[in-house]
């Protein structure tokens, strides 16, 4: 079993994980997991939230330590105690949320940790700005990013910042490169650019571990795919051996159902924006989508209709009455609920599930002097059953739930009020397939019961499945409209988005 | 899971355990600690600070901070004494509390609506209000030619149901305000605003109004404490209440409230007050040099803040 005997049989793997086990309290996050990645391979890691992907990645990048099992990087046995050790060992991770220092320049962010130094007057140490900027520029040009590196990093788009993070990783001579949901916030052109960079890294022999909920990407990109479920490896398959349906089945243990249905006739108008052009109208029993990528203004549109935008929005309600939405309270009074794009904005994370569900409903449960605890508990229990929120414990901190369950709590807040209009911004961003299907089913049920839905999303497949009609939005303007009756598909939405008015 | 909740419940009782250990240790080292005179002294000293700390807890749970409470207490005490000399006890007490609430309203409006940093705002009002105290009093204690009304002064020394009358003030306030905090929509809105301001806003909570009202409550309670102080000192003292804000903040943190907001319990802040007062008392009884007392209290404050940061990392 010595390392020598193994290396004579086959080439050394870039990453070789054997029987890795990690428990958090009573839950086994990873259970005897084997996982290998070769040099020059893009290896996809998929699974539902809670399947163990993040735990595996965190162990590889030194954030967590395994309970048992071994890890070898390029044939050398390692046991990373901190992210710093992992980086020194050649394992670099690009997290979902980039950690940049907004006020520092692009070059400073890129070189942070190894800033080139010089000595002023022969003694005083100082940052060599000229060399720093020159090196940074050179690095970024290699990734086809031509920007003024002296500008603060906050002037870059998310996709560009991600490229800076990748350039930073490349500087560190990494042999294993881990990307956690890198495309969640990218538009298709930016995804193409990212994939080109990954292709170059792969050709240079880097081992790439790629995590994504977007299965179409994985089918297109990955050489191999490992599916995790409940902390165990379910399957490992080679390129060409897996299709989207197989992956969903492996991840969830059940066959995926397509939800697209017949065109529906919109019911009476529930809420309409009163503006000269591009007015949004939401109808009962109808789901209206806004397709738009980061920076398109779709999210601002949704926030505005909730009275949380930069300027008040005038609307016409179901009764035909006119009102001005100045603050969320005004919208809530009109029977509107908002599920914001960032879950931290929808939930008070350090409070319990119970407190979060009750937050917009307190005045309806008793008087301003007293909350009726019995009615409140009944409402919370009803909602937790209806939404299938797990664990079924109202007193647990909402911050400790999985992303999918957190999203269900946000929906429960509003359904508990019996709102008639739901506004959703990226409702399934970063949540797993099973939770996504559940959220979609809930939206479907809400409209069948006569509610009206406005959903903004950058996931065009989701909009195509969910919506009766979709507005395409670009640079704060609506540039197209696709109806289910005319045939709705991801491709048609993409075409509508790329078209300029 | 089970062990986690047990250990976190134990963590939640650390303030009480600390207080008990502190009391037991002092009682073992000196028998003067448990003497009725000393215990009464501790209770009376704690009662005034407890009222301030309860108000401070509202602000801190709501995600804010208030440095102006010491000056406000001094202003309220002096105003109460001045009005009392002219228009009677009731008018004096009401005026004192109202002045405190007014300072709180000023803090609240500037912080919630002009969105100025609470630390800076209340640092400003701390200095500003202390200046006002000296302006209205001319720097001299307010006690009139014949002293404050004897009924009022008597309140600072009589007993009711075996306890010093002043001690009943925080007991009643604690009961009333704990209920407000836990059983009313207003109280839950304070927790939500401090725990996640944007999330609370998007749930329809009027966050600006809630923030402003926590400062009004804090100011009003500083006013109550100022009036209590005037009764105790039998005069309005322009220099009263110095460093009260620091003791109160330390007590709230010792009581386990999170400095980033959204977490905390009123009664635990009162336990924090007892820890501060008993610590000072026991160091006194043990004849520790007063300079070393300051060092010890500083260490306790930093330890409490470190515990706060350890807790939030869990």
For residues A324 and A344, what is the distance between their CA atoms, to the nearest angstrom?
27
Are A62 and A81 in contact, with CB atoms under 8 Å apart? yes
Write B294-302 long-range contacts (CB < 8 A, 24+): B297/B250, B300/B250, B300/B254, B300/B275, B300/B276, B301/B246, B301/B250, B301/B253, B301/B254
Residue of B nearest to A359 (CA): B203
- Chain B residues touching residue A371 (CB < 8 angstroms): 183-185, 188
Contact B262 A332 (CB under 8 A): no
Highest mean pLDDT among A230-234, A286-290, B298-302: A286-290
| Six-digit token string for B309 | 């940061």
For residues A191 and A177, what is the distance between their CA atoms, to the nearest angstrom?
17
Q: Which of B4, B191, B206 sits opposite A351 (nearest CB)?
A: B191
Helix (H) or strand (E) holding A391: none
Are A128 and A118 in contact, with CB atoms under 8 Å apart? yes
Q: Taking residues B207-222, what's their average pLDDT?
A: 97
Write A376-381 long-range contacts (CB < 8 A, 24+): A379/A416, A380/A353, A380/A354
Please, what is the Cα angle at A94 between A175 and A47, to 5 degrees? 95
Which of B275, B255, B288 shows the shortest CA–CA distance to B58? B255
pLDDT in tens, B140-175: 999 988 888 988 888 877 888 778 889 999 999 999
Is the model more confident about A116 or about B129? B129
pTM: 0.78
Please, what is the Cα angle at B230 between B226 and B235, to 5 degrees? 140
Contact A308 B201 (CB under 8 A): yes
For residues B230 and B74, what is the distance between their CA atoms, to the nearest angstrom?
9
pLDDT in tens, A77-92: 999 998 889 988 889 9
Confidence check: pLDDT of A5 > 70 = no
What number of C-beta contacts closer than 8 Å exist between A and B? 78
Contact A370 B3 (CB under 8 A): no
Q: Which of A355, A360, A369 sits opposite B184 (nearest CB)?
A: A369
Confidence check: pLDDT of A438 > 80 = yes
pLDDT at A3: 45
pLDDT at A10: 56
Contact A368 B184 (CB under 8 A): yes
pLDDT in tens, B64-120: 999 999 999 999 999 999 999 999 999 999 999 999 999 999 999 999 999 999 999
Edge-first strand order for the sheet with A76-78 is: A27-37, A15-24, A68-73, A76-78
pLDDT in tens, A131-183: 999 999 998 988 888 889 999 988 888 888 888 988 888 887 788 999 988 88
Q: Which of B202, B204, B205 sits opposite A340 (nearest CB)?
A: B202
For residues A10 and A145, what is the distance between their CA atoms, to the nearest angstrom?
39
Contact A359 B205 (CB under 8 A): yes
- Chain B residues touching residue A340 (CB < 8 angstroms): 202
pLDDT in tens, A317-339: 877 788 899 999 999 999 999 99
Predicted ipTM of the assembly: 0.83
**B313: pLDDT confidence band, cut at 50, 70 and 90?**
low
Residue A395 phi/psi, 5-degree rounding, is -90, 0
pLDDT in tens, B220-269: 999 999 999 999 999 999 999 988 998 999 999 999 888 889 999 999 99
Residues of B (219-258) whose Cβ lies below 8 Å from A:
258
- What lies within 8 Å, CB to CB, of A155 at 6+ separation is none
For residues B111 and B59, what is the distance between their CA atoms, to the nearest angstrom?
11
Q: Which of A276-285, A463-472, B115-124 is predicted least confidently?
A: A276-285
Are B55 and B221 in contact, with CB atoms under 8 Å apart? yes
Q: What percent of chain A has pLDDT over 90?
A: 31
Which of B290, B217, B179, B295 shows the shortest CA–CA distance to B53? B217
pLDDT at B1: 36
B33–chain A nearest CA distance, Å: 40
Which of A364, A342, A352 shows the shortest CA–CA distance to A416? A364
DSSP state of A334: T
For residues A498 and A482, what is the distance between their CA atoms, to the nearest angstrom?
13
Q: Which of A184-188, A288-292, A434-438 is predicted least confidently?
A: A184-188
A354 at B interface, C-beta within 8 A: no
Residue B73 phi/psi, 5-degree rounding, is -60, -40
Collapse the DSSP code of A164 into the 3-class scheme (helix H, G, I; strand E, B; otherwise coil) and give the result.
helix
Report helix angle B69-87 to B207-233, nearest 10.
60
| Six-digit token string for B82 | 């001045």
pLDDT at B312: 67
**A267: pLDDT confidence band, cut at 50, 70 and 90?**
confident
């Amino acid at each position: 079993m010595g390392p020598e005997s193994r290396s004579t049989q086959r080439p050394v793997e870039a990453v070789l994980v054997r029987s890795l086990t990690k428990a958090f309290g009573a839950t086994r996050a990873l259970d005897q997991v084997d996982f290998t990645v070769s040099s020059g391979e893009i290896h996809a890691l998929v699974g539902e939230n809670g399947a163990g992907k993040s735990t595996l990645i965190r162990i590889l990048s030194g954030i967590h330590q395994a309970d048992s099992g071994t890890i070898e990087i390029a044939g050398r046995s390692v046991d990373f105690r901190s992210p710093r050790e992992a980086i020194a060992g050649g394992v670099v991770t690009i997290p979902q949320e980039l950690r940049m220092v907004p006020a520092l320049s692009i070059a400073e962010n890129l070189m942070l940790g190894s800033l080139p130094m010089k000595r002023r007057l022969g003694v005083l140490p100082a940052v060599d700005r000229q060399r720093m900027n020159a090196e940074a520029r050179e690095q970024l040009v290699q990734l086809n990013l031509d920007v003024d590196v002296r500008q603060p990093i906050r002037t870059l788009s998310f996709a560009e910042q991600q490229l800076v993070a990748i350039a930073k990783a490349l500087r560190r001579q990494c042999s294993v490169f881990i990307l956690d949901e890198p495309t969640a916030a990218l538009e298709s052109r930016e995804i193409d650019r990212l994939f080109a960079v990954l292709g170059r890294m792969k050709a240079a022999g880097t081992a790439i571990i790629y995590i994504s909920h977007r299965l179409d990407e994985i089918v297109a990109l990955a050489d191999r795919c490992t599916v995790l479920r409940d902390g165990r490896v379910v399957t490992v398959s080679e390129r060409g051996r897996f299709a989207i349906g197989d992956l969903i089945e492996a991840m969830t243990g059940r066959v995926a159902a397509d939800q697209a249905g017949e065109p529906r006739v919109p019911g009476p108008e529930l809420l309409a924006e009163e503006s000269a052009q591009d007015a949004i109208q939401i109808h009962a029993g109808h789901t209206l989508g806004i397709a738009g990528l980061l920076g398109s203004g779709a999210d601002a549109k949704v926030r505005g209709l909730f009275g949380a935008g930069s300027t008040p929005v005038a609307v016409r309600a179901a009764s035909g009455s006119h009102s001005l939405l100045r603050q969320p309270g005004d919208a809530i009074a009109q029977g509107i609920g908002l599920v914001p794009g960032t879950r931290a904005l929808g939930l008070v994370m350090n409070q319990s599930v119970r407190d979060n569900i009750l937050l917009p409903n307190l005045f309806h449960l008793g008087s301003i002097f007293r909350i009726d605890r019995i009615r409140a508990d009944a409402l919370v229990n009803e909602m937790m059953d209806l939404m299938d929120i797990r664990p079924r414990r109202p007193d647990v901190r909402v911050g400790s739930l999985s992303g999918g369950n957190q999203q269900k709590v946000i929906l429960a807040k509003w359904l508990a009020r019996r709102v008639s209009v739901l506004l959703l911004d990226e409702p399934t961003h970063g949540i797993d397939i099973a939770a996504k299907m559940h959220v979609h089913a809930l939206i479907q049920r809400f409209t069948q019961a006569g509610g009206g839905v406005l959903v903004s999303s950058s996931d065009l497949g989701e909009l195509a499945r969910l919506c009766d009609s979709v507005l395409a939005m670009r640079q704060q303007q609506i540039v197209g409209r696709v109806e289910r009756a005319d045939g709705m598909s991801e491709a048609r939405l993409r075409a509508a988005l790329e078209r300029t008015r | 899971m089970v062990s986690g909740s047990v250990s976190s419940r134990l963590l939640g009782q650390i303030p009480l355990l600390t207080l008990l250990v502190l009391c037991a240790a002092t009682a073992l080292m000196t028998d003067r600690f448990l003497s009725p005179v000393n215990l009464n002294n501790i209770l009376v000293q704690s009662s005034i600070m407890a009222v301030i700390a309860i108000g401070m807890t509202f602000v801190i749970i709501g995600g804010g901070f208030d440095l102006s409470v010491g000056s406000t207490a001094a202003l309220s005490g002096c105003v109460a004494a001045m009005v009392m000399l002219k228009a009677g006890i009731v008018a004096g007490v009401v005026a004192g509390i109202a002045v405190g609430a007014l300072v709180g309203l000023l803090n609240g409006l500037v912080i919630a609506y002009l969105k100025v940093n609470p630390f800076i705002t209340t640092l400003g009002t701390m200095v500003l209000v202390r200046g006002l105290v000296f302006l209205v009093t001319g720097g001299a204690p307010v006690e009139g030619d014949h002293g404050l009304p004897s009924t009022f002064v008597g309140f600072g020394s009589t007993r009711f149901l075996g306890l010093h009358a002043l001690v009943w003030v925080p007991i009643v306030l604690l009961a009333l305000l704990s209920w407000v905090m836990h059983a009313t929509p207003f109280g839950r809105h304070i927790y939500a605003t401090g725990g996640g301001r944007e999330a609370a806003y998007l749930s329809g909570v009027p966050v600006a109004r809630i923030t402003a009202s926590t400062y009004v409550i804090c100011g009003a309670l500083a006013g109550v404490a100022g009036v209590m102080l005037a009764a105790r000192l039998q005069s309005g003292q322009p220099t009263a209440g110095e460093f009260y804000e620091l003791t109160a903040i330390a007590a709230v943190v010792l009581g386990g409230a999170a400095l980033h907001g959204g977490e905390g319990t009123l009664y635990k802040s009162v336990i924090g007050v007892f820890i501060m007062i008993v610590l000072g008392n026991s160091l006194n009884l043990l004849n520790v040099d007063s300079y070393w007392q300051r060092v010890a209290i500083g260490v306790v404050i930093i330890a409490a803040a470190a515990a706060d940061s350890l807790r939030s990392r869990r």
